[in-house]
Amino acid sequence: MKFICEKNNLLKAINSVVRGVSSRTTMPILEGILIQTNDNQIKFTTYDLELGIEYVIDCEVIEQGCTVVTASVFSEIIRKLPDTDISITLDDKDLLVIECEGSLYKLATMNPQEFPELPKIEEEKWVELEQNALRDMISKTIFAVSTESHRPIFTGCLFEVLNNTLNVVAVDGYRLGWKKRNLIEKADDFKVVIPGKTLNEINKIISDSFDKIRISISKNQALFDMDNCKIVTRLLEGEFLDYERVIPKMWETRIRVNKKELQECFERVSLISMSSIEKERKYPVKVSVEIGKIVISCKNQAGDAKEEIFLNTEGKNLEVGFNPKYFLDALKAIDDEEIYVEFGSSLSPSIIKSVDDTADYVYMILPIRIQE
């Protein structure tokens, strides 16, 4: 095997596939990148038995072949080489020889026959949309995915196509994020849960462009197919939350507020809430709704903070406590200038949404009991 490739193209492929390398495994082969030539193309593949990534680039192939090389060492060497053409050869001792200007490296390789095959996807359902649209949908929900392994179904995002609308939903038991998008092309209804880890990696690979990405669904796998990159992932099994049923339809108190102003107030007050003096304690930020204003405050052994915002209020006066991180995560994901925050009682979920009834997102946050 021998090929010559421009560094930036090579590095783009490697940076994409290393996201599928296993970080914890007793199988050394899973710590590697499978390199395969095919005419004048090179295919790089990684697979951790849950997430698999393939990336194909064009280059000058002098001699066909394949091998597996340890991903961490190979990627670091390529990254630090000069920005010019790189020659890569598999010699007769099965060493991967990397040459670039005055640099010469020889790396041990592994048997490519031992590298596991990626699952074959027999497409049953599919949906197609722009890469920047998918990126936006993931970014606006992924922070609400659970990290608790005892509820594995909530460690992923629900992808649901219903009446030609794609819904992406994340929930961790304390908050919920829901982003939806009307599809241009007709798609059959389906409902699957894709691991949050996979979606995080996909968001780092896809571009902020109008180029299309196709999501193909089989019985227990999904394929994300774009340009010269394919990502295969297992699906999570189990019953996801009936998200529409748990979102309150009525409110007792509502405010209309400038999103940026509310976010900046929460950020300042959270400096007291998240003080390191009592790391084992979690202090909520208190929101007090009065006629024509809200007061955002926190008091603990580190000090106390209070912010006031004058705004439009409807309904009853209210005091409610929130984990400031959960509230801020939702606010940071919103692009709108003005939003509604809708409250029930001091112990029932609150809703953050656009003032525009046709908006395509909803966030729900559970309150924290305030101890006086």
Over range 183-189, report the average pLDDT: 92
With cut-offs at 50, 70 and 90, classify the pLDDT of residue 275.
Answer: low
With cut-offs at 50, 70 and 90, classify the pLDDT of residue 372.
Answer: low
Closest-CA residue to 48 (of 6, 19, 76, 69): 19
With cut-offs at 50, 70 and 90, classify the pLDDT of residue 269.
Answer: very high
Q: What is the pLDDT of residues 311-347, one digit of tens each?
A: 999 999 999 999 999 999 999 999 999 999 999 999 9
Residue 130 predicted with pLDDT over 90:
yes
Over range 14-38, report the average pLDDT: 93
Q: What is the pLDDT of residues 85-109, one digit of tens each?
A: 999 999 999 999 999 999 999 999 9
- Give the model's pLDDT for residue 278: 54
Q: What is the pLDDT of residues 204-246, one digit of tens each?
A: 999 889 999 999 999 999 999 998 999 999 999 999 999 999 9
Q: Which residue has the higher pLDDT, 26 or 111?
A: 111
Residue 301 predicted with pLDDT over 90:
no
Q: Alpha-carbon distance 370 to 42, whole Å?
A: 59
Task: Give the domains, in start order, of the chain with CATH numbers.
Answer: 2-114 (3.10.150.10), 125-245 (3.10.150.10), 247-365 (3.10.150.10)
Share of the chain above pLDDT 70, in %: 98
Over range 137-160, report the average pLDDT: 95
Residue 274 predicted with pLDDT over 80:
no
With cut-offs at 50, 70 and 90, classify the pLDDT of residue 282.
Answer: low
| Global confidence as pTM | 0.92
